Amino acid sequence: MFAQRLKNLKPYKPGEQPKDREYIKLNANENPYLPSPKIKDALKDIELQKLALYPDPDSHELKKAIAKSLNKTGGVLVPAADQKPLGFEITEDMIFCGNGSDEVLSFVFYAFFDSDKPLVSPEFSYSFYPVYAGYYGINLLKVPLNADFTLNTKAMLDVDSTGMIFANPNAPTGMALSVDEIEAMLKAYPKDKVFVVDEAYTDFSGYTVLPLLKKYENLLVIRTFSKSMSFAGMRLGFAVGAPALIQALTTTKNSFNHFPTDAFCQASAIAACSDIEWYSENCRKIIKTRDAFSKALVDSGWNVLPSKTNFVLVSKDGMPGKAVYEAIKAKGILVRYFDIDVIRDFVRITIGTDEQMEKLLEIIRTI
């Protein structure tokens, strides 16, 4: 009854959503702040007739809106003082939209990575990469991190690979390579292989590699609306890259699902893009909360990896991650722990509001 291939699937496990009581959810890197009120207006005005018709399969207006907002901000919501300007204009033909960046990533794996050589990724990065590699029969080579949790870029480049993928800032460490470090990798990497940087958390880091697109046509940048744009429930991710790469993703999409972004999604995301200040402000708040929370934890004797994201990976000597997770859950807050060597002693905590983090700090101080 079941196809052979089904046996081999190893599905991704998202953050839990238990229903036994109300929890403060700090386990899925969701944004604690509301999306822009302009979205409500846009949806109020949407004609019901629109829902009876198929949406624009290629999200043209949405891609234009995304391009415009990237050009306006320079590619990052809260840019650091030394983030380089884009230096070119991002155009619609450089953008591909999908049903969450998870779906965009699945098309990326399908379109660019072969099975004859390994696909290179850090040992700890987004845990959907091994899932897609398994799904498509791609051999994923996970390169161990350095002892300080930074990426071992030299070892990653030493592999004769079909492609390269990592998150920057990385998850679940929260740590980032600098734009210069990534450019050094691109310089050393074959120009005919696609080099993917997943910038899901880049808006919280101050930096983006988007300016490098001008020089490196094999660079593909993956973004999501889920984290910094408070849009996880609506499902929207996108890729930015050279038009030839975008065309390959479109061909892949049109061989699988013509309409990954529905009419509601397109209309509300366009409205979101018209209110970038709203999101920049929320991002600024999260960064501030993150830095204050990190400092408070360090002051209480915890180890905190330096985060450039909306979460922190933390540990307390002598306490396994699972025990910390359970103690916090018993008090009504969900965080994430990983049943994996090396990071077994850590929990990953999403940055919520100041109020939520205060509550968590009180709990943490008692365990």
Verify binding: residue 30, ligand PLP, rule CB under 6 A. no
Interface with ligand PLP by CB under 6 A: which range of 54-62, 94-102, 245-253, 341-349? 94-102
Task: Please tell me whether residue 294 binds ligand PLP under the rule CB under 6 A.
Answer: no
Question: 36 or 99, CB closer to ligand PLP?
Answer: 99
The values of phi and psi at residue 251, to 5°, are -60, -45
Nearest residue (CB) to ligand PLP, 268 versus 316: 268
Any contact of residue 100 with ligand PLP (CB under 6 A)? yes
The 187-206 site mask, x for binding ligand PLP (CB under 6 A), equals -----------x-x------
Angle at 82 between CA 171 and CA 70, to 5 degrees: 65
Instruction: Please tell me whether residue 232 binds ligand PLP under the rule CB under 6 A.
Output: yes
- Does 313 bind ligand PLP (CB under 6 A)? Our answer is no
- Using CA atoms, how far apart are residues 210 and 85, in angstroms rounded to an integer? 9
Asked if residue 262 binds ligand PLP (CB under 6 A), the reply is no
> Judged by CB under 6 A, which of 35, 75, 237, 352 binds ligand PLP?
237
Strand bridging mode 237-241 / 95-98: antiparallel
**Smallest distance, Å, CB 200 to ligand PLP?**
3
Sign of the four-CA dihedral 252, 226, 168, 134: negative
When the beta carbons of 232 and 276 are compared against ligand PLP, the nearer one is: 232
101 binds ligand PLP, rule: CB under 6 A: yes
Cβ–Cβ < 8 Å for 276, 66: no
Q: Is 15 exposed, middle or buried (0-12, 13-18, 19+ CB in 10 A)?
A: middle
Stretch 109-138: interaction string toward ligand PLP, x if CB under 6 A: -----------------x------------
Single out the residue of 363, 361, 351, 349 nearest to residue 296, CA to CA.
361
Angle at 194 between CA 189 and CA 199, to 5 degrees: 100
Helix, strand, coil in percent for the chain, rounding step 5? 40, 15, 45
Binding ligand PLP (rule: CB under 6 A), the pick from 102, 203, 262, 345 is 102
As measured in angstroms, the least distance from the Cβ of 101 to ligand PLP is 4
Q: How many CB atoms lie within 10 A of CB 227?
A: 25
CA angle centred on 151, ends 145 and 156, rounded to 5°: 90
Query: How many Cα neighbours within 13 Å face the side chain of 298?
Result: 11
Residues 202-231 that bind ligand PLP (CB under 6 A): 224, 226
Minimum Å distance from CB 116 to ligand PLP?
Answer: 26
Q: 138, 171, 221, 347: which one contacts ligand PLP (CB under 6 A)?
A: 171
Residues that bind ligand PLP (CB under 6 A): 29, 100-102, 126, 167, 171, 198, 200, 224, 226, 232, 237
